[in-house]
Amino acid sequence: MWRRAYKPAIFLLCLLPLAQMLWQLSSGALQPNPVEALLHGTGDWTLRLLLVTLAVTPLKRLTGWRRPVLWRRMLGLFSFFYAVLHFLVWLALDRELLWSQILEDLTKRPFVMVGFAAWLILLALAVTSNLWSMRRLGANWKRLHRLVYAAALLGVLHYWWLVKADVREPLIYLAVYAGLMALRLPWPPGGTVMSPWRRSL
């Protein structure tokens, strides 16, 4: 069955941005400011994959297609994977492990603070993304994992506060985020959603 190939295919797809960045790094295409390019590239993909993760539920509601639910954890973990790379590039290459400056950034600069807050949330979600944690946390697991909505919003804000004047791209991310959140609202109010295209898993 081709369907069994979906998940590994998506796994490889999620690694493509990293492969491209590494290829461009080795070919010199990221010059003249490769650290900035890596920082922005990993940040972009954190946010994109987080929004893809948040698109699974609306997709299911609109189309009745439930299979992506099986990939949601992997997509979320890939978003975290790029967030870790983003954090490490920032810490080691951009801030050069100069702790006084890092501390200053983390306490004085709002765009860094919201980014770090989002990162901490993603860390907590990634750590508790296994079956054992789900069982242990019980009903609290779902409550904890609702923080993903806050993480995505903080991520968009982090980007918004970074740009100097042209907020077009952060606006696109914000619009996608708002759309994905709106699609979660009960509609019609109080009613259940019936999809005309309900399909089997």
Partner 1 sequence: MRRRYRPPFIPSSEITDEKLWRDRRRIIRAAGIAGLGVAAGGLATLAGAFSGRPPGKGKGNAGAGSEALEPTPWKYITHYNNFYELGTSKSEPAENAHYLKTRPWSLSVSGECEKPGILDIDELLRLFPAEERIYRFRCVEAWAMVVPWNGFPLSDLLKRFQPTSRAKYVEFRTLYDPERMPGQKRRVLDWPYVEGLRMDEAMHPLTLVATGLYGKELPAQNGAPLRLVVPWKYGFKSIKSIVSIRFTEKQPRNTWNRMAPDEYGFYANVNPDVPHPRWSQKRERVLGTGIFAEKRPTLPFNGYADEVAQLYAGMDLRKYF
Q: How far is the CB of 42 from partner 1 (least distance, A)?
A: 13
Cα angle value 174/69/13 (rounded, 5°): 70
The distance of closest approach from Cβ of residue 99 to partner 1 in the complex, given in angstroms and rounded to an integer, is 13
- Contact at 8 Å (CB) between 122 and 73? no
Q: How far apart are CA 79 and CA 114, in angstroms?
A: 17
Task: Name which of 35 and 62 has its Cβ closer to partner 1.
Answer: 35
Nearer to partner 1, 38 or 47 (CB): 38
Structure tokens at 130: 């296994």
Closer to partner 1 by CB, 11 or 104: give it. 104
> Given the complex with partner 1, which of 38 and 55 has the nearer CB atom?
38
* Cα distance between residue 56 and residue 66, in whole Å: 8
Residues of this chain that bind partner 1 (CB under 8 A): 25, 31-36, 38, 93, 96, 101, 104-105, 109, 111, 161-162, 164-166
Cβ 31 to partner 1, closest distance in Å? 6
Task: Quote the least distance from Cβ 118 to partner 1, whole Å.
Answer: 17
Q: Which two tokens stand for residue 40?
A: 């922005």
> ω before 188 within 30° of 0 (cis)?
yes
